[in-house]
Amino acid sequence: MAALSPAPLILAGQGWTDYGLIDSGHGRKLERYGPYRFIRPEAQALWAPRLSDWDADGEFVPGSDEDGGGKWHFSREVPREGWPLAWGDVRFTAQCTPFRHLGFFPDMAPVWEWMGEQLGGSDDAATLNLFGYTGVGTLALSAHGAVAHVDASKKSVAQAKENAALSGMENRPIRWLVDDAAKFAAREVRRGRRYDGIILDPPKFGRGPGGEVWRLEEHLPALVADCRQLLDAQSRFLFLTVYAVRMSSLAIAGLLAEALAGLPGEIEHGELAVREEGEGGRLLPTAIFARWCGG
């Protein structure tokens, strides 16, 4: 029976050649994405910045409305169509999107790494990436076998396929699916499918391609219950991240503990964070997570 470890963990990303958190403070953060530096709003940076001068190529200035709006202001030329970055052998296009992010989520790097460790040397694992976005996690998983990548956005899936081509991974066994995550999972349960690993990175609110409404607090328990049906005692992991929602990692771990009670292994939970570069770099929290790994 999967045991819940009550003490929270911090899963901290360190930055790498193509990405780093340079500084944070006064409600903003300064990051480097390859050759460019950007300033973005960051509500959790309550402290003061360590550096006195933030020299950036662009800044996302939020609108007055807390839930969205705002736009990029550029002080130097930045390619609007994006530029290539790499994480390990995965290559992808970074771009200043109207949603204030850069087309991938760098705080997920330790998650992608952990999933790879759970699959060890295996090259015939079957994994499922729900809410897969632009596919960096999917491409990392595809080193271990077949991946089903599900996202409601045609544009995100098209970008994910372009990232596969950029990485020279277009022949990897990946099913690219424009679909509603909850509907897809329910359909896979009816088909009696099983997976070795599942990653779930749901937004607080979203819509499926057919207008299906996704509200995290309302729909997560049923989706996790379906994911349980897709796992068995030989499966390796389930990784769930939640952000921008008033919720504790202990709560989502409790949900996994209930749904996955019949499986062996362990459930852990905590926060994802990114460490600022340089000496004395602080940990900037980005999301909460709960994960199960098989026995």
**Closer residue to ligand SAM, CB minimum distance, 38 or 105:** 105
CA 35, 77, 134, 292 torsion-angle sign: positive
Rounded to the nearest whole angstrom, what is the least distance from the CB of residue 111 to ligand SAM in the complex? Answer: 8
Rounded to the nearest whole angstrom, what is the least distance from the CB of residue 191 to ligand SAM in the complex? Answer: 18
Could you give the dihedral angle defined by the CA atoms of residues 193, 214, 130 and 100, in that order, rounded to the nearest 10 degrees?
Answer: 170
Under 8 Å CB-to-CB from 264, ≥6 apart: which residues?
A: 1, 2, 233, 294, 295
**Closer residue to ligand SAM, CB minimum distance, 125 or 181:** 181
**Closer residue to ligand SAM, CB minimum distance, 146 or 245:** 245
Give the residue at shortest CB distance from ligand SAM. Answer: 206
Query: CA-to-CA distance for 103 and 257, rounded, in angstroms?
Result: 32
The secondary structure of 11-32 as a DSSP string is EEE--BTTEEEEEEETTEEEEE
Rounded to the nearest whole angstrom, what is the least distance from the CB of residue 153 to ligand SAM in the complex? Answer: 4
Rounded to the nearest whole angstrom, what is the least distance from the CB of residue 26 to ligand SAM in the complex? Answer: 25
Residues 100 and 62: beta-carbon distance below 8 Å: yes
Query: CA-to-CA distance for 283 and 72, rounded, in angstroms?
Result: 25
**Closer residue to ligand SAM, CB minimum distance, 31 or 180:** 180
Rounded to the nearest whole angstrom, what is the least distance from the CB of residue 107 to ligand SAM in the complex? Answer: 8
Residues linked to residue 28 through DSSP beta bridges, in sequence order: 25, 41
Rounded to the nearest whole angstrom, what is the least distance from the CB of residue 138 to ligand SAM in the complex? Answer: 9
**Closer residue to ligand SAM, CB minimum distance, 246 or 280:** 246
Rounded to the nearest whole angstrom, what is the least distance from the CB of residue 184 to ligand SAM in the complex? Answer: 8
Other CB atoms closer than 10 Å to residue 235's CB: what's the count? Answer: 26
β-strand pairing of 28-33 with 174-178: unpaired
**Closer residue to ligand SAM, CB minimum distance, 129 or 235:** 129
Residue matched to tokens 């909850």: 182
Angle at the Cα of 73 (from 51 to 46), degrees rounded to 5? 40
- The continuous run of DSSP H or E covering 185 comes out as helix 181-190
Under 8 Å CB-to-CB from 284, ≥6 apart: which residues?
A: 21, 24, 29, 42, 44, 45, 273, 274, 275, 276
Which residues contact ligand SAM by CB under 6 A? 104-105, 108, 131-134, 136-137, 150-153, 156, 180-181, 201, 203, 206-208, 212, 214
Rounded to the nearest whole angstrom, what is the least distance from the CB of residue 162 to ligand SAM in the complex? Answer: 14
